[in-house]
Chain A
Amino acid sequence: NAGVMQNPRHLVRRRGQEARLRCSPMKGHSHVYWYRQLPEEGLKFMVYLQKENIIDESGMPKERFSAEFPKEGPSILRIQQVVRGDSAAYFCASSPEGTASYEQYFGPGTRLTVT
């Protein structure tokens, strides 16, 4: 059973470009979470998605950031018009259900560098 997969592992974008980060949850998991780890800071929750639904996006910046988890395919975190402050590690996690008793399993992360 493969773990949570994220790609790309490293992504370099120039200021103003778009960044697309992909996350494939563990087999059998239908709940996905995105977290961001800024340099020298802890991980911060961004968004929680179920298939075709955004459950909680309270941690997402109001502009330029969006997330989706379509019926088919991976979850996508999209950052439009990237700025240097978006440089961070973005982690995806998944769980089989949305109840709090379930453990979240994390992927290896995508390290975004904005030049």
Chain B
Amino acid sequence: KQEVTQIPAALSVPEGENLVLNCSFTDSAIYNLQWFRQDPGKGLTSLLLIQSSQREQTSGRLNASLDKSSGRSTLYIAASQPGDSATYLCAVNTGFQKLVFGTGTRLLVSP
């Protein structure tokens, strides 16, 4: 059974810092991995999708990497801003179209 863990559960940083969020999964047989952002009381915004054949994806200040063999993904946020404050979720697709989600990292970026 696929399990997804995210650490840390919460993170508080001053504006301008570069930071790394971690996601690990127990079964390396995945098709892809998605990183999402969730604002309080809101839906999920897809940030990056990494296919299993890819090592990383970049979008603006965000960079996500994937190491399937070790069951890990990281989301790197450069030059953090207060607007980045949200909960970040990773989810793996095991090929049966069920996304398995981690419990998220709550990020607070203070001005």
**A contacts, CB < 8 Å to B:** 31, 33, 35, 41-45, 48, 55-56, 58-59, 91, 93, 95, 98, 100-101, 103-109, 111
Contacts and interface: CB of A to CB of B under 8 A. Distances in A.
Contacts of B42: 108-109
A41 B101 CA distance: 10
B51 A101 contact: yes
B34 A103 contact: yes
Nearest to B94: A100
B96 A100 contact: yes
B76 interface: no
Interface of B: 31-32, 34, 36, 41-46, 49, 51, 89, 91, 93-104
Given A91-B43, A91-B44, A103-B46, A44 B101 contact: yes
B107 to A, nearest CB: 16
Nearest to A92: B43
A106 B43 contact: yes
Contacts of A31: 97
Contacts of B41: 111
A59 B1 CA distance: 13
Contacts of A55: 97
Contacts of A48: 97-98
A42 B98 contact: no
A46 B100 CA distance: 11
Contacts of B45: 106
Given A42-B104, A101-B31, A108 B97 contact: no
17 contacts: A35-B101, A41-B103, A45-B98, A45-B100, A48-B97, A56-B98, A58-B98, A93-B99, A100-B32, A100-B97, A101-B31, A101-B32, A103-B46, A104-B34, A104-B93, A106-B45, A109-B43
